[in-house]
Amino acid sequence: MSSSSTGVKTDEKKQHFDDIYVESTPVPYKTRILDALSYVSDDFNREMFDAHILPRAHAITAHGPDISESATAAGFEPGPGRKLNFVDLCSCFGNTTMATVYGMSYDEIRDNWSDETRCQTIDSTRRFPVNVTGIDISAPALSYGKSAGLYDATICGDLNDRSTPEFEQVNKVMGEADILLSTAALVYLDLETIESIVSSFAKGSGAATNEGYVLVNFLNPFALEKADETKRILLKHLEFVGSRATRHRRMSELEMNNYPGEEWSLLELWVLRRRGA
């Protein structure tokens, strides 16, 4: 999620790439962030997703013998065979959806986004039946994701303005979601916004009531106090499943000047679920 709109909360010690988020394709994002800053964290996001969420996704969407080996090994029984609702919150161009839903590696994503032609289609297929909703402040990024087939639906808006119809729509979508993804992006949201969104997801609605998994990231060394407050909100509403610490990306020159001695931005990856799931 970019910081280019009034109301989005930013850490001034952190590098922002507002000009990239208004581009019509992810090629500049790939060149200046994925390549230049060794943005490797999507490999770890995929591994965390595969360990804690993918087996359950396979089980829910399975029809009897169609259940995957990973789901069987995890002790899951076949579910009703329905599509899942997957929400990428503060999704930008969708690289982490490519990593989790499509199972693509960091290098495969970079290759797919190597030029303006290649990036128009996704060089992989979805690993389970799913409807994907992308939510972000960047209209061009969402438009790209929709045209490339990453997103089935999109919601564009400043989520720190909680008076808008778009924010009401976001809370509705959260209640219907089976999987919520928000990686390295919650730092841009007000704590009140995070509380509302997480609460809506935790309550659930319809077919998603008894299910629901979340993959979120916390950045280090940026906005550490806010990360702690966000963790408290998540634990207030959801059940903790597991965590992992990894590299995120190399720090920019600005960031290294602000945090002397640091070369890498790090991530703490968390998986949570609805209570009773």
Chain segment 71-87, per-residue pLDDT in tens: 666 666 666 778 999 99
Whether residue 154 has pLDDT greater than 70: yes
- The kind and range of the H/E element at 198 are helix 191-203
Whether residue 68 has pLDDT greater than 60: yes
Q: Provide the CA 277 distance to its chain's centre, in angstroms.
A: 21
Of the pLDDT bands very low, low, confident and very high (cuts 50, 70, 90), residue 114 is: very high
What's the pLDDT tens digit per position in 234-257?
999 999 999 988 876 767 666 656
Report pTM: 0.86
Give the model's pLDDT for residue 92. 93
Lowest mean pLDDT across 66-70, 152-156, 170-174: 66-70
The strands making up 213-220's β-sheet, listed across from edge to edge, are: 153-156, 130-136, 84-89, 179-182, 213-220, 264-273, 239-250
169 CB neighbour count, 10 Å cutoff: 15
- Give the percent of the chain with pLDDT over 90: 62
Q: 114 is written with which tokens?
A: 């190597």
Whether residue 181 has pLDDT greater than 70: yes
Is the preceding peptide bond at 221 cis, omega within 30 degrees of 0? yes
Give the model's pLDDT for residue 42. 93
Give the model's pLDDT for residue 225. 80
Tracing tokens 């997480």 back to the chain, one arrives at 198
Contacts of 263 (CB under 8 A, 6+ apart): 250, 251, 256
The answer to whether the Cα torsion of 170, 7, 225, 49 is positive or negative is positive
Of the pLDDT bands very low, low, confident and very high (cuts 50, 70, 90), residue 4 is: very low
Give the model's pLDDT for residue 161. 97
Whether residue 265 has pLDDT greater than 90: no
Give the model's pLDDT for residue 5. 42
What's the pLDDT tens digit per position in 6-47?
444 445 565 456 778 889 999 999 998 898 888 888 999 999
Give the model's pLDDT for residue 24. 95
Give the model's pLDDT for residue 75. 66
Of the pLDDT bands very low, low, confident and very high (cuts 50, 70, 90), residue 3 is: very low
Give the residue-averaged pLDDT of 180-194.
92
Give the model's pLDDT for residue 146. 98
- Give strand ranges (E) for the chain: 84-89, 130-136, 153-156, 179-182, 213-220, 239-250, 264-273
What is d(CA 130, CA 133) in angstroms, rounded to the nearest whole number?
Answer: 10
Give the residue-averaged pLDDT of 254-265.
65
Whole-number average pLDDT of the chain = 86
- Cβ atoms of 216 and 250 within 8 Å: the answer is no
- 54-72: burial string, b at 16+ Cβ within 10 Å, e else: bbbbbbbbbeeeebbebbe
Which superfamily, per CATH, for 23-273?
Answer: Vaccinia Virus protein VP39 (3.40.50.150)
Angular region, 78: left φ>0, alpha ψ -120 to 50, beta rest: beta
